[in-house]
Amino acid sequence: MLNTKQIENAVTWACIQEVSAPKPGNVNGFSDGHNMSVQNFIDSAHAIAPILSQQNLTVGEMILHAVKATRTVVDCNTNLGIILLFAPLCKAVADCNHFDQLPSALNRTLSALTIKDAELAYQAIQIAEPGGMGESPEQDIYSHPTVTLKQAMELAKNRDSIAAQYANNYHDIFELGLTNLTLSINCGESVEWATAFAYLKLLSATPDSLIRRKQGLACATKVMTESKNIIEKMNKNSNLSQFETDITLWDKELKQNAINPGTTADMAAASLLIYAFSQVLS
């Protein structure tokens, strides 16, 4: 069973590794972007980690307090998606003695979410001011929720990949993110390049929600296809790190066009958090 300090350290590590990884289109160790810097993300990591490790807080309280803490160190939305994904994981892992217990513990945590959790999460989303949210016909984030947080996420699952994780018990993060992150690390890649590989596998599977909201489905699908092409090229050779030039050029192109696969980056961060938990609980 992880203690508070272990959870805090895992959160900090996962956030820093995520922003350090050469993920095309995101702020990363090669370049800043989208009016945000690597340091913004590092500062945000240190702000949220102590909050997400507090087991006396509900998931909704974790989300709201973490978003507020972020706004004390940066004036932009660096980590709303990360917080939304991390909070249930941090709550669930405290009930695990072994790593293989995490999926069932997570399912219990998500199933126990309340309307109050939804209210607090809605407040957090409004404070964070994510781009391209628009309006929803049911349980809009600027309304007062009348369903639990999990139920609200289930209503949004077809238009937002983070919401979908609440509905499917983080299936994509476990099966695509964690699996490919672990595989790449075990094959000798650094954590940063392994994270980029997991990110590309996630990006190649589903159109990124943030791109879809801000630039449309056609743009998100094009990015998804480009990610598939890089993976296909890599499969014909060996490690992703051998394609640093291709990755760097695509990263530059995406940023020049203000295209940010931010939802996929958040899912990569959650994959890193679960990996960190697996190392402590193994």
Average of pLDDT values for 62-77?
96
Mean pLDDT of the chain: 92
- In tens, the pLDDT along 78-119 reads 999 999 999 999 999 999 999 999 999 999 999 999 999 999
Domain ranges for the chain, please list them: 4-281
DSSP 13: H
- Asked whether the CA dihedral 66, 11, 88, 37 is positive or negative, the reply is positive
0.75 cut: is pTM over it? Answer: yes
Q: How confident is the model at residue 135 (pLDDT cuts 50, 70, 90)?
A: low
Please report the pLDDT score of residue 5 as a whole number: 97
Please report the pLDDT score of residue 79 as a whole number: 95
Average of pLDDT values for 197-210?
96
Provide the token pair at 263: 């939802």
| Residue 63: closest CA among 157, 164, 159, 166 | 166
pLDDT at residue 196 tops 60: yes
Encode 187-218 in three state secondary structure.
CCCCHHHHHHHHHHHHHCCCCCHHHHHHHCHH
Instruction: Report the alpha-carbon distance of residue 232 to residue 237 in Å, rounded.
Output: 9
pLDDT at residue 241 tops 90: no
Please report the pLDDT score of residue 129 as a whole number: 80
pLDDT at residue 210 tops 70: yes
Residue that has been written with the tokens 């249930």 in this structure: 88
**What is 4-281's CATH topology?**
Triphosphoribosyl-dephospho-CoA protein (1.10.4200)
Residue that has been written with the tokens 């513990």 in this structure: 105
